[in-house]
Every structure is written in structure tokens, then in C-alpha cells.
Amino acid sequence: MASMLVSSSEQYSGKSSLCLGLGVLLKERGYKVGYMKPIGNLLIDVNGSLADEDAQGIRKLLGLQDDMSSITPILLTENLTDDALMGVEKGLDSRLKEAYEKVSKGRDVVLLEGAGGIGGGAMYNLSDPEVATKLDTKILLITRYDSAQAVDRILCDLRIIQNTEILAGIILNEVPPDKLEQVSHLVVPFLEKKGIKVFGVIPEDHMLRSVSVAEIVEDLNAEVLVGASHMEDLVEHYLVGAMEVGSAIKYFRRMPNAAVITGGDRSDIQMAAIEA
């Protein structure tokens, strides 16, 4: 059985999307895929029980039947944090390994998702490098490339990992179009000279961060007044309509597929947004 822990330099770098994409691709190629997020840090209520939001969504989309207690055996509650700070032994290592055995049983590949940044969970001795070492797997590091400072973050991550043999390689994610040439011709060769395998460079795509109108309505528990036939349209940008109409409409026209948030008494802003 093969396994890989997808980690990141910081939160919201694309770990969940990468795990989901790899999982779907591997399933299409005939592999039996398992998924696990050892430490749940985005807690939601599911039928009266706590669960990690990312893990819950990926479990559903990959059609997995494993119990959520196996997919996410450790939940970062306030009680767990307090116990860690007071030095209370919780048997987290054994819980982690037991869950991993269940998730990996009968599987060809298991994808593991880190919690937050690469050092998340360190107070419980469960940072991503520690989890990878305990489960005898390698790390795939994904980093959002916003500027050359991303290289600094990667090199700092290597110092956190210490044992570089567990690093399989990295993926540079969300690279802005105007930085693609710099990344391809300067950043990638620089990293590879440092012995860091670069598996891929993913260009920035606003659509990947978009959500449908229906999702916004659901999360806000909102009432739809008009336009119910457009519930599946995607929202790429958000604008707050709080300024004078003449200035606001300039922004409305620049931003495609935007949602405008404004006061119920600002009919002038509402009409300007509709006209734009």
C-alpha cells in the first residue's frame, strides 16, 4: 500500500482540493483509495456530533464508507488543547495508529491531509512531520506562491521537517499569471539545486475559489427574493457597496461574477449593481 501526507506552509493553500483531485484521479484509474485527516481543526456539528468540515466533504465526494471517527480520530477541541498544555496524557499516538490501520485496510492508496500549516499539532507531538514519521509515510508539501517569500517559507519548512528523507517533493500552487515565467525559470531550478523535487506548478484560477449562489444562500440561511433560476451561478468576487454610487459603479464594472453586499435601504447601490 502507498500513502502520502499532504502538508502546507500555511492554511488555505489547497490541501483539501489536492487530496480530492488525487483521490478522484486514482479512483478513475482503478485504485482503492482511502482518505484520512488525522487532526480535525475545522469543526462543525453533524447530526449532533463534532466532525471536521474538510474531512466530511471529502468523505462524501469520494464515496467513502469509513466512520468519521477513523477518518478524523483527533479533534482539536478546547478540552484537548487544555489537556496538552497541562501535560495530560491522552494516548493520541495509539488512537492515530489504530485509525490509520482501519482506513488503510484493503486500500491501494491512502491520502492523508495535514491540519493547518506544517507545524500545526506540535503541542500534541502531532505536527505533520511527526505524523508522517509515526505512520511511515512521506510528505507532499503544497505552497501558495504569492511572491518570492514563498521560497523562504519552503526553506523554513525544511528546517521544521529536519529529516528531509520524508519529503517527497513540493507543489507550487496559485501562481499568478505574471509570475509564471519567474517561477519556471528561476524558482524551480533554485529549489531543485537545493535537492527539493518540484512536482508541479499550478497557475492561479479564480474559479477554484468560487462558490455557487446556492452555497451562499445555504450558509447564510437566506431568503431568495428574485433570480432563483441562477442559483448555480458562481461568485468569484465580493464587493461591499458602502460608497457613493458614482464611485461604486466603477468597481462593479471591473469585477466579473461578483456579489455585492449592501444595506437594505441602499436602493441606489442595488440598482447600480444590477445595471453593471
Question: Distance from CA of residue 66 to its chain's centroid?
Answer: 21
- One-letter identity of residue 179: K
258: burial class by Cβ within 10 Å (0-12, 13-18, 19+)?
A: middle
pLDDT score for 121: 87
Planar angle of CA 92, 120, 138, nearest 5 degrees? 80
Q: What is the largest CA-CA distance in the chain?
A: 63
DSSP SS3 for 162? coil
Q: Which domains does the chain show, CATH number per domain?
A: 2-204 (3.40.50.300), 209-275 (no CATH)
Phi and psi angles of residue 192, each rounded to the nearest 5 degrees, phi first: -70, -30
Tell whether pTM > 0.85: no
Phi and psi angles of residue 152, each rounded to the nearest 5 degrees, phi first: -60, -40
Q: Tens of pLDDT along 188-206?
A: 999 999 999 999 999 988 7
What stretch of H or E contains 5? Answer: strand 2-8
Q: Comparing 47 with 131, which gets the higher pLDDT?
A: 131
Q: Tens of pLDDT along 25-83?
A: 999 999 999 999 999 988 888 887 888 889 999 999 999 999 999 999 999 888 888 88
- Residue 17 CB coordination number (10 Å): 17
Q: Tens of pLDDT along 133-172?
A: 999 999 999 999 988 899 999 999 999 998 888 999 999 9
The DSSP secondary structure of 60-89, one letter per residue, reads HHTT--S-HHHHS-EE--HHHHHHHHHT--
145: burial class by Cβ within 10 Å (0-12, 13-18, 19+)?
A: buried
Tell me 112's DSSP state.
Answer: E
